[in-house]
Structure 1
Amino acid sequence: MPPAPYETSWTQHLTIDTIALVLHRTLFHPFIASLIPLSLRAQATPYSHPAFILASAYACLVAACHVLAAVNRRVAYGRPRCVDWEDEVVVITGGAGGLGRTLAQVWGMRGASVAVLDVREMDGEGMEMGMGVRWYACDVGDAGQVEEAKGRVEKDLGTPTILINNAGIVNGKPMLALSPTEIERNFRINLLSHFHTIRAFLPAMIRRKNGGTIVTVASILGRLGAANLADYTAAKAGLIAMHASLRAELEHLATSAPIEYIGAANVKTVLVAPGQLSTPLFAGVRTPSRFLGPVVESVELAREIVELVDEGMSGEISMPLYARWVQWLGVLPVGLQRVIRGLSGLDGAMRGFKPGEGKQS
């Protein structure tokens, strides 16, 4: 007799990401790696013994990799800015549901000042997330509404210092089935809204000495493309390029701009490019492989974002594990790329999607 639909096996929680996390915190951790030669010495293993030499070399290699990673991060993103939650005001687009709602809940429970910009009104449960959480009706694809919302946020909460560009929609249709209205709305919400909010909130950040933080929520699909997602992936690819250009412009301002742009060096940028999220945006979509491409829980992704914002650092967040290495697919022979795409099931993942369910989030 087949199991009931709600019954699942414990093996569903065993993924390549879980294995990688365990290895990262054990064999690939400098402290654990250093214990191996120390344990051998505790057993009176001679220094010249091959086992001790190999263990010592491995420990040095692991430690060197961690040091180089830290140096690379500092060179790439500079010093962290000081995040003082008494002075920070968070703006989250699409914060009435999905990932944005989770982020609003986290910062709201901390008592932070949070402004949620969304066309959907937050329900009673959402409004109880924290005393500093407020909802502002705003279509972020409309530049005029964004400017109006900016004025209200500044009046109610103060000058925004952290911008989470999260709003998004999914049509989930073949390219030839998309109407001009659907295509236009896709780009307004998924791409142009980022330009509207950055143009509205960035000027105040670069004028303050302590700068601010801009988080761009894109998607790994922006690097891959996928069937039935031409409009969505094109917009997300645009976000990835926009993020790189924004970083370059901020670095230019920091080195050559007038004194009134003193905070440009302290405006941190975070690019979030996850795989499939467990949000209503992709309702009905089934991951081709639970082991190699597990669905990312919005709580897990929110934790990574919150941690990086709290640290005052720039960076890139890609989950699950394959999302960090997917760019290397582009250097492979085209024929091999086609085989890998076929085996992954990427282009058939949208078969279970029901058009109309991917509402703005």
Structure 2
Amino acid sequence: MNAPSSDDPAPIYDSVDIDMVVKVLSQTAFSPFFTCFIPIFYAFQGYEFTNPVVIAPSIYCAAVSAFCRALEMDLTAVPQSRFVVVTGVTENYNIAYYPCDVSKWEEVEAVSKKIIDEIGQPTMLINNAGVAQGKLIINLKPEDIYQTFGVNTLAHFWTLKAFLPGMIKNKTGHIVTMSSIMGFVGSVQMTDYSASKAALVTMNESLRYELDKVYDAPGIRTTLVCPGHILTPLFSTIQLPTNPFFKFLAPSIAPVTVVKAIITALDAQQSRTIYLPFYTNMAPVLRMIPSYLRDISQKFSGADYSMRNFTKVTARRPDEGDLPIANGKY
């Protein structure tokens, strides 16, 4: 069974999930604009301003407003001209496309020099390239492991070595690191992938401190993205639970949802950690809960069975042969 495509039609109720609930709450109960009307409503009803029914919502509104304001305190002026380098993107009509094996330093170095000479110094770097093998640990070939860590981990170091010096010189920039919820948790047939994504979590944190404490470049922002299942070809052949409860709590997300969150961070010029969808916020906590609760969450997620019939669709090497086709589908 293939994972649903982002283009497949779905009933309206399929879009009702916990993320929609959180979005509604963020625009109502946790919105300064919305909550400010609550004490006003009671005041218009004739209640004195010293009445608890007016004071309590006023305090709540002030707290929500202060929290939202604190989130905005990190704002800085957005550069007038922005030049973004994105890895893992195919040729497109509206981008300059530079073919390169990002897992190899020599190729990244050569292409980065060409980019800087032809276009200029990038102000934003989005390390997006990724690959998954979907094999048990003893079935992983050396070539599989080299490819996984080369694309998922080492490529980040190579692009940083290539483009970060220019950002440090200008004291401005933004680096987006695409990790995964699998960087916090492990599951069957994901040993190499999870390890490669876990490395990015601490790499991003160490980079943040180097920029602040050593290079004196706090104006260079760093955003770590830790998504759940995204409806892209990379994991298009996994098998997820289909029960309504799972789909409500742990929905798959469209690529555009992740893109919007990244663009918001870039526009705001803030360093952020982006967890999408909402349930992924719990991933770091899983390491701290008792083992039996961790096992229950693992069973509910179906993660240990989702890769059972996985077929590698993207980034296939010549030694892996052609992509098998069954019933007209990959």
Q: TM-score, length-normalised on structure 2?
A: 0.87
Match of 2:197 in 1: 236
Quote how far apart the aligned CAs of 1:199 are: 0.5
Counterpart residue identity of residue 28, structure 1: F
Quote how far apart the aligned CAs of 1:345 are: 1.7
Q: Deviations over 1:149-193 (max 9, x none)?
A: 012111221122211111111101111111111111111111011
Match of 2:106 in 1: 144
Q: Is 1:222 matched with 2:183? A: yes
Quote how far apart the aligned CAs of 1:48 are: 5.2
Give, in whole Å, the separation in 2 of the partners of 1:240 and 1:219: 9
Give, in whole Å, the separation in 2 of the partners of 1:168 and 1:39: 52
Match of 1:359 in 2: 315
Aligned counterpart for 2:115 among listed residues 147, 153, 172: 153
- RMSD between aligned alpha carbons? 2.0
1:132-211 equivalences under 5 Å are 133-209=95-171, 211=172
Q: State the secondary structure of the residue aligned to 1:137.
A: coil
Match of 1:19 in 2: 21
Q: State the secondary structure of the residue aligned to 1:309.
A: helix
Task: Say whether the 8 Å CA contact 2:85–2:125 is kept in structure 1.
Answer: yes
Quote how far apart the aligned CAs of 1:70 are: 4.1
Give, in whole Å, the separation in 2 of the partners of 1:332 and 1:231: 24
Give, in whole Å, the separation in 2 of the partners of 1:186 and 1:325: 25
Match of 1:250 in 2: 211
Counterpart residue identity of residue 94, structure 1: G
Change in CA separation of 1:89 and 1:68 when aligned onto 2, cut-off 3 Å:
closer
Change in CA separation of 1:64 and 1:152 when aligned onto 2, cut-off 3 Å:
closer
> In the comparison of the two structures, how many residue pairs are matched?
306
Aligned counterpart for 2:238 among listed residues 282, 285, 305: 285
- Note the residue ranges of structure 2 that are not aligned, 5 or more in a row: 317-330
Give, in whole Å, the separation in 2 of the partners of 1:41 and 1:170: 59
Task: Say whether the 8 Å CA contact 2:239–2:305 is kept in structure 1.
Answer: no
- Note the residue ranges of structure 1 that are not aligned, 5 or more in a row: 97-121, 256-263
Quote how far apart the aligned CAs of 1:47 are: 3.9
Q: Could you tell which deviates more after superposition, 184-193 or 55-64? A: 55-64
Match of 2:47 in 1: 45
Q: State the secondary structure of the residue aligned to 2:276.
A: coil
Match of 2:219 in 1: 266
Change in CA separation of 1:61 and 1:162 when aligned onto 2, cut-off 3 Å:
closer
Give, in whole Å, the separation in 2 of the partners of 1:81 and 1:181: 45
Q: Is 1:346 matched with 2:303? A: yes
Q: Deviations over 1:31-65 (max 9, x none)?
A: 21111111111111344555334433433333343
Give, in whole Å, the separation in 2 of the partners of 1:247 and 1:314: 9
Give, in whole Å, the separation in 2 of the partners of 1:265 and 1:67: 20
Aligned counterpart for 1:91 among listed residues 85, 88, 103: 85
Q: Is 1:320 matched with 2:263? A: no
Q: Is 1:276 matched with 2:208? A: no
Q: State the secondary structure of the residue aligned to 1:136.
A: coil
Give, in whole Å, the separation in 2 of the partners of 1:60 and 1:246: 35
Match of 1:301 in 2: 258
Counterpart residue identity of residue 159, structure 2: T
Task: Say whether the 8 Å CA contact 1:146–1:197 is kept in structure 2.
Answer: yes
Q: Could you tell which deviates more after superposition, 218-227 or 341-350? A: 341-350
Quote how far apart the aligned CAs of 1:254 are: 3.9
Counterpart residue identity of residue 295, structure 1: S
Q: State the secondary structure of the residue aligned to 1:265.
A: coil
Quote how far apart the aligned CAs of 1:224 are: 0.9
Give, in whole Å, the separation in 2 of the partners of 1:83 and 1:225: 39
Q: Deviations over 1:334-354 (max 9, x none)?
A: 111111211222222223422
Aligned counterpart for 1:31 among listed residues 30, 33, 45: 33
Quote how far apart the aligned CAs of 1:196 are: 0.7
Q: Deviations over 1:277-298 (max 9, x none)?
A: 1110101224432211111211
Task: Say whether the 8 Å CA contact 1:83–1:311 is kept in structure 2.
Answer: no
Change in CA separation of 1:302 and 1:324 when aligned onto 2, cut-off 3 Å:
same
Task: Say whether the 8 Å CA contact 1:287–1:295 is kept in structure 2.
Answer: no
Give, in whole Å, the separation in 1 of the partners of 2:41 and 2:54: 9
Change in CA separation of 1:66 and 1:90 when aligned onto 2, cut-off 3 Å:
closer
Give, in whole Å, the separation in 1 of the partners of 2:64 and 2:270: 24
Task: Say whether the 8 Å CA contact 1:278–1:295 is kept in structure 2.
Answer: yes
Counterpart residue identity of residue 350, structure 1: M
Counterpart residue identity of residue 125, structure 2: L
Match of 1:100 in 2: none
Task: Say whether the 8 Å CA contact 1:223–1:237 is kept in structure 2.
Answer: yes
Match of 1:108 in 2: none
Q: TM-score, length-normalised on structure 1?
A: 0.79
Give, in whole Å, the separation in 1 of the partners of 2:70 and 2:127: 31
Q: Could you tell which deviates more after superposition, 53-62 or 240-249? A: 53-62
Counterpart residue identity of residue 61, structure 1: A
Counterpart residue identity of residue 27, structure 1: A
Task: Say whether the 8 Å CA contact 2:265–2:271 is kept in structure 1.
Answer: yes
